[in-house]
Structure 1
Amino acid sequence: MVSPRFTPDRPALVGRLRAAGCVFAEDEAELLIAAADSARELARLVDRRVAGLPLEHLLGWAEFCGRRIVVHPGVFVPRGRTALLVDAAIAVAGPHPAVLDLCCGSGAAAVVLHERLAPRWLAAADIDPVAVACARRNLDPLGVPVYQGDLFDAVPAGWRGRLDLVVANAPYVPSAAVALLPPEARLHEASVALDGGADGLAVLRRIAAGAARWLTPGGHVVVEVSAVQAPDLCEAFTAVGLDPGVVRDEEREATAVTACRPG
């Protein structure tokens, strides 16, 4: 509810946001108004948004799969297309699985998987301490541990060979293409969450190799990737003994690769 202490000039606000390139200027205006408790605070938020800060970092949350996920400044903002990753993971998961969310960022995927899968064990991990702190804000209330470290090295060794499901929204932008990303991502999200190496698949190949050791027979790894990278990633999964498949959603412009450890 808007504070009675000020009445915002909505047309002027929408016009300013639209001029700055905000595609959904009307929706953003309402969210910024709701987040402000004074005209001065609203002006500060709008100035920062026009300067290019991600809306989610200004609000302190992002919507993902119908839920509000806490997002700290500098943390990767969960994208709508990553809902395909979650859907693909749910489709291959068995009852009450042991689940690991790697490169978890804000922990958005783990939040949804906790609700939809009722896992017997669920944990998240990220190498970025800022992301880990953010993920803990989202996952501590659910009793889900968040580990800091490099991929599987962060996880208790006792789960090696026992995981039913590994999900990862790992970085997959080729290094040379990072400079071409929208400024909201390039300037305000950690490069470790975006840069996937020369061909974008450096981290995903490491996840494939680790999943072959950490999954239980019949377990699955599910990752997000671009459509053009999917064939090469499938080859990487096959090379480590996993059986891959590709899931594509044209409406979301999203691609996921699933791979199963043979039972």
Structure 2
Amino acid sequence: MPVHPSSPLSATVLALRRAGCVFAEDEARLLHETAASADELSSLVERRAAGLPLEHVLGWADFHGRRFAVDPGVFVPRRRTEFLVARAAALAPRRSVVVDLCCGSGALGAALAAVSDAAELHACDVEPAAVRCARRNIGDLGHVYEGDLFAPLPATLRGRVDVLLANVPYVPTDDVELLPAEARVHEPRVALDGGGDGLDVMRRVAAEAPAWLAPGGSLLVEASERQRDTAVEVLRAAGLSPRVLVSEELYATVLVGTAANSPSEDRPKR
């Protein structure tokens, strides 16, 4: 149902409801707040009703108390992933070195840098569209690279990373087609498909992580509840000390793999 340029909020709500939007009232309010004109409002509503993710329609996502740009074709940061950022902030030492792998929009790394005393922030993604978006969001906070996992990172980071965020894809290949169309159609498959059991990318990250982590540094990844036991073994097999953190409120499962401290003493704070 097209929205007339002079339509009130209630007409927008109705159009979104008919399109199947569960949170039609909230979305209508955001669309009205975003549109600079009646014609733009009509365009935004039509795009949302056609199935484009709300964040792609608005051009931003609300994450960890801030708005981050999210361009079309870029993975949308999920609210549950705020739990991962919060746990990372609790682990980050003073003047920490942070790396955000599979960074997407760069929201995780930028959010962590905003709430922690990060001395360095480095982020990377294999998707060119994500890299462009992340560079806008991270700006002067750090550096963003294009490439596969650790490959584009400066070699000087080896053995120095205090917090390694890796929001890797963890949806099993056979389950990708079961995802909502918003994700399945409009987000890059490389950001969703985690291989046969969903943990292929996590295995690659865990295998290389010890070479990049500082003594006592931690890798943080998300997984589903049903993957947690296998994911724990993945981290343990890589030589990391694993633990599982759960937020029932956000329905989030975060795994932390911590590297061993140096044989003598913990390294001095920078």
Q: Give the TM-score normalised by the residue count of structure 1.
A: 0.95
Deviation, 1:40, is 2.1
Q: How does 1:82-101 map to 2 (within 5 A)?
A: 82-101=81-100
Amino acid at match of 1:171: P
Does the alignment pair 1:204 with 2:202?
Answer: yes
Is the CA contact (8 Å cut-off) linking 1:221 and 1:259 kept in structure 2? yes
**Deviation by residue 1:56-99 (Cα, 9 ceiling, x = unmatched):** 10111000011000000000001100001101111222111111
In the alignment, what sits opposite 1:102?
101
Which of residues 179, 193, 196 is equivalent to 1:195? 193
Aligned mates of 2:49, 2:146 — CA distance in 1: 34
Is the CA contact (8 Å cut-off) linking 2:170 and 2:193 kept in structure 1? yes
In the alignment, what sits opposite 1:225?
223
User: What is the aligned-residue RMSD (CA, Å)?
Assistant: 1.1
* 1:120 counterpart SS class: strand
Q: How does 1:121-140 map to 2 (within 5 A)?
A: 121-140=120-139
Tell me the percent identity.
Answer: 53
Is the CA contact (8 Å cut-off) linking 1:167 and 1:223 kept in structure 2? yes
Amino acid at match of 1:24: F
**Deviation by residue 1:3-38 (Cα, 9 ceiling, x = unmatched):** xxx643221211111121212111111111122222
Aligned mates of 1:73, 1:218 — CA distance in 2: 38
In the alignment, what sits opposite 1:31?
30
**Deviation by residue 1:220-239 (Cα, 9 ceiling, x = unmatched):** 00011111111101101111
Is the CA contact (8 Å cut-off) linking 2:110 and 2:141 kept in structure 1? no
In the alignment, what sits opposite 1:143?
141
Aligned mates of 1:37, 1:166 — CA distance in 2: 39
Aligned mates of 1:35, 1:94 — CA distance in 2: 38
Deviates more, 1:54-63 or 1:15-24: 15-24
In the alignment, what sits opposite 2:8?
9
Is the CA contact (8 Å cut-off) linking 2:224 and 2:252 kept in structure 1? yes
Aligned mates of 2:165, 2:187 — CA distance in 1: 21
**Deviation by residue 1:207-262 (Cα, 9 ceiling, x = unmatched):** 10111111111110001111111110110111111000000011101110001011
Q: Give the TM-score normalised by the residue count of structure 2.
A: 0.93
Is the CA contact (8 Å cut-off) linking 1:88 and 1:258 kept in structure 2? no
The number of residues matched between the two structures is: 257
Q: How does 1:42-121 map to 2 (within 5 A)?
A: 42-121=41-120
- Structure 2: gaps of 5 or more residues: 262-270
Which of residues 134, 151, 176 is equivalent to 2:174? 176
In the alignment, what sits opposite 1:41?
40
* 2:118 counterpart SS class: coil
Amino acid at match of 1:146: V
Is the CA contact (8 Å cut-off) linking 2:48 and 2:54 kept in structure 1? yes
In the alignment, what sits opposite 2:150?
152
Which of residues 253, 259, 266 is equivalent to 1:261? 259
**Deviation by residue 1:109-163 (Cα, 9 ceiling, x = unmatched):** 11111111121111111111110000001011x3311011111111001111111
Does the alignment pair 1:161 with 2:162?
Answer: no
